[in-house]
Amino acid sequence: MYYITVMAWGLFYLAHSLTTGPLPWMNCDNWWNTNSCVTYDTFMHNSSSLNGSIHDVLPIIEFWDHYVLQKSDGLENMGSLDNWRLLLCLVVAWIMIYFCIFKGVKSTGKVVYFSATFPYVVLIILLVRGCTLPGAADGIRYYLQPNFTKLQDPNVWVQAGSQICYSYAICFTVLVAFGSYNNFYMDSYKHCLILTTSCSMTSFLAGFTIFSLLGNIAEVMQKNVSDVVASGPGLAFQIYPIGLSMLPVPQLWNALFFLMIITVAIDSQFCCLEGFVTIVCDSWKWARKNRELFTALLCFSIFLVGLVFVTKVGWIAYYFHGNFNCS
């Protein structure tokens, strides 16, 4: 109920990327901006004067806080479902998920051909582009240079372990559910090695793409790479749009990136949901015979419960429930 919020955020950003004018998170001329908003041009040309003020805010921060999330000041101020744009994105996301799984593995298998390969295409395109930008070498050097003192921090090991469990979908019923459709004599050891190796190598490849762009951001903003590194939503919905918006034809690069985010979120969402549906359909005769109806009722029920994540305190509930492990 919470992870699909990532997909809704991606749809929200994608819709705003498909514009012929300036991207809304690159200027301070919108209704959600405050007097503290400082544009990137002002920051880059006069960064020394801005460093002394703690109240200056970049437009991407206000776009994220005041327009996308419309944050309240605490759980006691829940607000209503008046953020209809984000609500609409959540509805579209659930409709897409339903049509991915309503016929079982027959439909999910076809979806994966696109959703699992498209992110690689975008990653490679962004990697090639990122490596041609000024400062990319500094970012990649920071990425590859080990910091052994971090190994003494228990939190690093906790985060690494949770990421591995999440990436391999351990205890999410996914591997068991999809594995049940395999031929009895399939070489499971071989497939396990392929899964773990490809997952880790994908993360390694994505690191080059990310840090080449972070190096460019640090170069443009006259900062160290360590100062612009972020994780979770800060990376996907704040740092990345900054870097991509500084490239020629920023609408194209942002659209490609958020389309990639959406396809990755689709894979994660429908895989976990398919695992649950498979268990229920294997155990309950009515659900097995009426799979399309059961799937529709399930999606609609989870959608209703998940409406809390598009309220003004949805971001608090999201962090509490999911802690955004897809960074």
Extract the annotated binding site for Na(+).
Answer: 167, 267-268
The residues with which 149 forms a beta bridge, in sequence order, are none
Dist CA 165 CA 162 (whole Å): 5
Dist CA 101 CA 106 (whole Å): 8
Q: What is the dihedral of CA 87, 90, 96, 100, to 10 degrees?
A: -150
Closest CA to 256 of 13, 7, 26: 13
Question: How close are the terminal C-alpha atoms of the chain, in Å?
Answer: 18
Dist CA 183 CA 188 (whole Å): 10
* Burial (CB count within 10 angstroms: exposed 0-12, middle 13-18, buried 19+), residue 166: middle
The residues with which 37 forms a beta bridge, in sequence order, are 57
Q: Which amino acid is at 78?
A: M
Contacts 24+ apart (CB under 8 A), 118-122: 118/259, 118/260, 118/263, 119/260, 119/263, 119/264, 120/202, 122/256, 122/257, 122/259, 122/260
The residues with which 57 forms a beta bridge, in sequence order, are 37
3-state secondary structure of 57: strand
List residues forming the annotated binding site.
Answer: 167, 267-268
Chain position carrying tokens 């001329």: 29
- Inter-residue contact 26 to 245 (CB < 8 Å): yes
